Copies of this chain bind each other. A is one copy, B any other.
């Protein structure tokens, strides 16, 4: 059998869709999922570690990384800069590792250009009302930010057609199974290579 290269799985979701919870459970269920750690100027939330969830940077440091060509792509989202370190992904894929990259819709489109073989997954809430309810429940965002995030989510809907898969997170257990099924099925897809037996 052929040795497979790893898959690059790009995940986008409006804030409050439960993306991180889904991925956390999926990582426990699959033994070959690895995060691509992004750089960001966003302030760390409680429990977020530097180099684990993100590389937290000042705007000055981030600008320096752009100038040094250290980022594959970068974009501004809800007032913060996000970017993907250049070296990390190709190394992981060559080693057969499946890399998960959390990124917003424009960043995802850029990654697709650089890695045409990547798998694009969009996670949606069951409805916008439910999204607003979840954001409010989270209690980490101001009312203004909540309204802003729901507005962005509505705009992002027009990007869904560029994605390979859409997972609607109505129920955590189902959404996790959806995500792990996508990873497993893509690993069997002939578009990434055809196995040979002897």
> Which of A182, A186, A188, A189 has the most C-beta atoms of chain B within 10 angstroms of its own C-beta?
A188
**A185 close to B (CB within 8 Å):** yes
Q: Which chain B residues lie closer than 8 Å to A188 at the CB level?
A: 165-167, 178, 181-182
Chain B binder among A42-50, A70-78, A80-88, A121-129: A121-129
Given contacts A178-B184, A184-B177, A185-B185, contact A197 B165 (CB under 8 A): no
Residue of B nearest to A195 (CB): B166
Chain B binder among A19-27, A56-64, A156-164: A156-164
User: How far apart are the CA atoms of A66 and B161 in the complex, in Å?
Assistant: 41
Q: Which chain B residues lie closer than 8 Å to A195 at the CB level?
A: 124, 160, 166, 168
Segment 150-198 of A: residues with Cβ below 8 Å from B? 157, 160-161, 163-168, 177-178, 180-182, 184-186, 188-191, 194-198
User: How far apart are the CA atoms of A20 and B161 in the complex, in Å?
Assistant: 36
**A3 close to B (CB within 8 Å):** no
**Cβ–Cβ contact B190 & A160, under 8 A:** yes
> Which of A126, A161, A185 has the most C-beta atoms of chain B within 10 angstroms of its own C-beta?
A185
User: How far apart are the CA atoms of A127 and B198 in the complex, in Å?
Assistant: 5
Q: Smallest distance from the beta carbon of A138 to chain B beta carbons, Å?
A: 19
Q: Which of B161, B190, B198 touches A164 (beta carbons < 8 Å)?
A: B190
Which A residues lie at the B interface, using CB under 8 A? 1, 124-128, 157, 160-161, 163-168, 177-178, 180-182, 184-186, 188-191, 194-198
List 7 A-B pairs, Cβ < 8 Å. Answer: A160-B190, A163-B190, A166-B194, A168-B195, A177-B184, A181-B188, A182-B188
**CB-CB nearest 4 A-B residue pairs:** A185-B185, A181-B184, A181-B181, A165-B188
